[in-house]
Amino acid sequence: MSETLHVACPTCDTLNRMPRERLGQAGKCGSCGNPLFSGAPVPMDARRFAVHAERGDLPVLVDFWAAWCGPCRMMAPVFEKAAGELEPHVRLAKVDTEASPDLAARFGVQSIPTLVLVHHGREIARTSGAMPLPALLAWTRQALAAV
């Protein structure tokens, strides 16, 4: 019998059940019909974070950033490319620390950009500062080995 995962829709945040062995296949949300994997980071606030990172079964890599931050702007295209490489095994999320200071405080974010890998609401790994795509992919894959 296959293990069923709960995957949150990046469009409407509905939790969808998906067999683990179908994770690499194109799935659609049972509620809104949009793809479950878009290959792009998902903007999140506290409500969306609760669905994706706490109730969903996929690990979530969160980029804590702010619009005024130069290194954050440098990191944005790298993070965007990483989404295409890491999905469907990881959901990539962006949290604007100015719009969601509660989430930044919850994770003790003191500098940005900060990347936090979360699984079932629990922090698995963290790193700060901008990095090139190969380093980001290697760091994420190494941290996922602990999940």
Distance CA 50, CA 35 (A): 20
DSSP 32: T
| 69 carries an active-site annotation | yes
Q: Look up tokens 């930044």; give the residue.
A: 104
Of 9, 12, 29, 69, catalytic: 69
In eight-state DSSP terms, residue 88 is T
Among all residues, which ones are annotated catalytic? 69, 72
